[in-house]
A and B are shown apart, each in its own frame.
Chain A
Amino acid sequence: MSTPLLEVWNLCAFYGRAQVLFDLTFRLQAGEVMALVGRNGAGKTTTLKAIMGLVSASAKQATFKGHSLGSLPTYKIARLGLGYVPEDRRIFTDLTVEENLETGRRQASAGRSPWTPERLFRLFPNLAEMRGRRGNQMSGGEQQMLAIARTLMGNPDAILLDEPSEGIAPVIVQMMAEAVRAMKAEGVAVLLSEQNWAFAAGISDRACVIERGEIRFQGSMAELMANEALRAETLGV
């Protein structure tokens, strides 16, 4: 097996004195899509935040492209090429679509064709029609597209994508699936946190089932599809 792009081991996290993550260990290979699935409150979002350094993990042992993420501040983690799209999207509502994209812009690593606003507008044609519009005048789905596009402007090698299908119209969910496939085609690895089983199953290579802050299953998506008992128990599907 090649060295993983992102490797996390024994990840624990606390809110106050309450422990919410217990010794999570997993790997994300370059160019693959891995889904973190689990019920609401299982700890999926916290896992992504802990990797980005946005919640205090007691002992974070994680490497990205061989660099230890240990106690790096969030912006340095992002600069290593790890993008993050939060579940509440967090569009800058006072900024226009183009300005939002500008906030994410970072140099691409050598040998990669960089994401530009024009390329992203081809990926998300809806955005192209509203370049000058402010974030507070966009629908949830449009904001979701913008959030992904904004992170892609940083030319990341991997993206932590939190609940992209939440609260948006089915037709836009289809576009999100397309977007994830397009990212994968560009060689961007995706760590997807998702409650929408059908969506996650359709686009992921591997899956990791989280329940109450602990990993219950890790393996290929096909394996998880086959294991109906586990799915029924942990996901209710």
Chain B
Amino acid sequence: MDPAFLAVQALSGLSSASSLFITACGLTIVFGVTRIVNFAHGSLYMIGAYTAATLVPRLLELSFGPATFWAGILASALIVGLIGVLIEVLLLRRIYGAPELFQLLATFGVVLVVQDLVVQVFGPQDILGPRAPGLRAPVEILGRRFPSYELVLIAAGPVVLGLVWLLLRKTRFGVLVRAATQDRDMVASLGVNQAMLFTGTLFLGAFLAGLGGALQIPRVSANTGMDLSIIAEAFVVTVVGGMGSVPGAFLAALIIGQLQAFGILIFPKSTLVVVFLLMAVVLAVRPYGFFGRAEVIGGTHAVGIASHKRMPRGTLAAWIAIAALACLPLVGDAYLLKVATEILIFALFAFSLQLLIGVGGLVSFGHAAFFGLGAYGAALAVKWYGASMEAALPLGLCLAALGAALIGAFVVRLSGIYLAMMTLAAAQILYAVAFQWVEVTGGDNGIVGVWPSGWASGPVPYYLLTLAVTVVAVFLLRRIIDAPFGYALRAARDSEARAEAIGLKVRQHRWLAFVISGAAAGLAGGIYAFSRGSVDPSLLGISTSVDALTMLLLGGIQTVTGPLVGAGVLHFLRDLIMPLTPFWRLLLGLSIIAMVLIFPRGLVGTIRYWREERA
């Protein structure tokens, strides 16, 4: 191969590594001190890009020159740093002690809020920033032209690494930050005000995110999709490098930069797959990344379960509820039945997550993977083999169970936040495959023409079918949860070491939980595909996973009716809010944040808690 081409490829790999490192470095520092995985870090990056793309041209009009350009970039990063302080003071400060799952959800709420605000402040169109004065001419490398700005970026990464290193090693702030990374209570016992330390850390992290975003403006235009695409990559970098480790992030960014630069030659369409495969391999060998250390968190703490009671038994009330739902077609019109069908499907989906999170203490942040696999499995069977609904649904379920078996085999080795990140990554791989393997999956357009068999078509029969499947599946899951297998999972959730000491094969149990939960989610996905007549990649996306989590938490972990109530309330809110306002993301984000702050036990869980307190 042409050496000049390879050199240019390697250089562009280095420059994207630099950009990625600067952003991921902030994420890893914030995690190290606060133990919060900040989903909103990508949003801060996006704000940095928008701010710089808006601010720098105005400054250049006043005084054109390199100094102005770089001052504008730094000013944008500073502004983002202050926004980070605002987020810390208003939200993060209140959830440091909260279970990890709630922290992830709350910061995802911030992502939604920022998405709407950015459109509101900067307008819906992409903004192309100015090129850097003095760096407009390309340089020649082995006879090939290479943008000189990229060379500056290549240098920026190591410079930031050096400055962060000095800050952390040579200043009192740095020493305290490193101490707090290890033992927050001890730092407080020595008289250090953690609040100031955390606010400072968030400023630093947000500043770096803003800097990473601002540095992009001569390369890519600021757009509204930047936040989720960078956060996925930044997650990979921090997880591969070891969460909380700055040098680890640097090393991981270097490797990933090169993988992307050269992976494009192997998988021209999907460098994302290569990147996530790297993550899977690294975590399989080193469960805490290159330089990470074992996390003691996870299990009960991850999901914050207080109740050790059995799930309530099926009572007369349950039968009445089922009967009432079965009678719904007598009173409801077609639209209501369609909504009710969706609510039931998502209730089953959320309940399948219940087994992992509520019972297993395993925070799956990529449960959409199994829902989507079920949907795609069914749709592909219809599209390519002309399968009937009766055949396609079990096939979808099997595909989801198979996927869960594969993904589960990887992730049961992990715990806590690493597990959440890994499941998220797995879902993102599948999303990328569905999106990019156009010949098979139809890409962005998805697959259409997935209709139920004659006897089940029409709102009423399909609603009754969905109800029957959901009730049976939930009943079976309930049996599993109250069976010795469920007790073993709970034992492992509450204390992994003790569960192993009494002879439980924790990993094996957890793996089986993944398979069962994946199969149930796949069943829900398949039914969903037939209810809509089509599938598309968004079924596998982060928002679908977050939907399931929101429903589960809204309803309350460890309740039977919780997922149903959660699915109902979320759908109701969406159907109510979305048509009324262009700010539905903002409202949804704020609702998620409010839910985490006000109802950490979920709606049903809170009611139960009140009752128990009164008793």
Contact = CB atoms under 8 A, between A and B. Distances in A.
A10 interface: no
Interface string B176-215: 1011011101111111111000000000000000000000
Nearest to A89: B186
Given A73-B188, A103-B190, A92 B172 contact: no
B425 to A, nearest CB: 27
A4 to B, nearest CB: 22
A75 B176 contact: no
Contacts of A52: 189
A54 B175 contact: no
Nearest to A147: B186
B175 A150 contact: no
Nearest to B181: A94
Contacts of B175: 95, 99, 102-103
Interface of A: 52, 54, 73-75, 78-79, 84, 86, 90, 92-95, 99-100, 102-106, 150-151, 154
A73 B190 CA distance: 12
A100 B185 CA distance: 15
Given A94-B182, A95-B179, A99-B175, A54 B190 contact: no
User: Which are the 6 A-B pairs with shortest beta-carbon distances?
Assistant: A78-B191, A74-B188, A90-B186, A92-B179, A79-B191, A75-B188
Given A74-B185, A102-B172, A95 B178 contact: yes
Name the interface size band of chain B: 10 to 19
A103 B189 contact: no
Given A92-B179, A94-B178, A99-B179, 9 more contacts: A75-B188, A78-B189, A78-B190, A92-B182, A93-B182, A94-B182, A95-B178, A99-B178, A103-B187
Contact of A92 (B183, B188, B193, B194): B183
Contacts of B172: 102, 105
Contacts of B192: 75, 103
Contacts of A73: 188
Nearest to A150: B190
A93 B181 CA distance: 11
Given A102-B175, A103-B179, A75 B186 contact: no
A75 B194 contact: yes
23 contacts: A54-B185, A54-B189, A73-B188, A74-B189, A75-B188, A75-B189, A75-B190, A78-B188, A78-B190, A78-B191, A79-B191, A86-B186, A90-B183, A92-B178, A92-B182, A95-B179, A99-B178, A102-B175, A103-B176, A104-B191, A105-B172, A106-B190, A150-B190
Which of B175, B179, B188, B189 has the most chain A CB within a 10 Å cutoff? B189
Contacts of B188: 73-75, 78
Interface in B474-518: none
A135 B256 CA distance: 33
Contacts of B187: 103
B461 to A, nearest CB: 52
A165 B187 CA distance: 23
A86 B96 CA distance: 23
Given A75-B194, A92-B183, A86 B189 contact: yes
Nearest to A101: B175
A108 B182 CA distance: 26
Interface string B108-138: 0000000000000000000000000000000
Contacts of A74: 185, 188-189
A151 B176 CA distance: 14
A52 B188 CA distance: 10
Interface of B: 172, 175-176, 178-179, 181-183, 185-194
B178 A154 contact: no
Contacts of B176: 103
Contacts of B181: 94
Contacts of B178: 92, 94-95, 99
Contacts of A84: 189
Nearest to B176: A103
A74 B192 CA distance: 9
A54 B186 CA distance: 10
Which of B176, B182, B187, B190 has the most chain A CB within a 10 Å cutoff? B190
A100 B175 CA distance: 8
A219 to B, nearest CB: 29
A118 B174 CA distance: 22
B179 A75 contact: no
Nearest to B193: A75
A149 B300 CA distance: 36
Nearest to B187: A103
A54 B189 CA distance: 9
A211 B448 CA distance: 74
A227 to B, nearest CB: 34
Nearest to B197: A75
Nearest to A90: B186
A122 B449 CA distance: 83
A35 B183 CA distance: 27
Nearest to A151: B190
A105 B178 CA distance: 15
Contacts of A90: 183, 186
A105 B173 CA distance: 12
A86 B190 CA distance: 11
A52 B186 CA distance: 11
A102 B185 CA distance: 16
Contacts of A103: 175-176, 179, 187, 190, 192
Nearest to A104: B190
A92 B182 CA distance: 7
Contacts of A99: 175, 178-179
B606 to A, nearest CB: 20
A78 B192 CA distance: 8
Contacts of B182: 92-94
B225 to A, nearest CB: 38
A64 B219 CA distance: 60
Nearest to B174: A99
A100 to B, nearest CB: 8
Contacts of A78: 188-191
A84 B189 CA distance: 6
A183 to B, nearest CB: 17
A92 B176 CA distance: 10
Contacts of A154: 190-191
Contacts of A54: 185, 189
A105 B175 CA distance: 11
B12 to A, nearest CB: 35
B191 A75 contact: yes
A78 B194 CA distance: 13
A92 B191 contact: no
A92 B174 CA distance: 13
A123 B193 CA distance: 28
Contacts of A150: 190
A95 B194 CA distance: 18
A54 B187 CA distance: 12
A233 to B, nearest CB: 34
A90 B184 CA distance: 10
A55 to B, nearest CB: 11
Contacts of A86: 186, 189
A212 B188 CA distance: 28
Contacts of B189: 52, 54, 74-75, 78, 84, 86
Nearest to B189: A84
Nearest to B186: A90
A60 to B, nearest CB: 16
A79 B194 CA distance: 13
Contacts of A105: 172
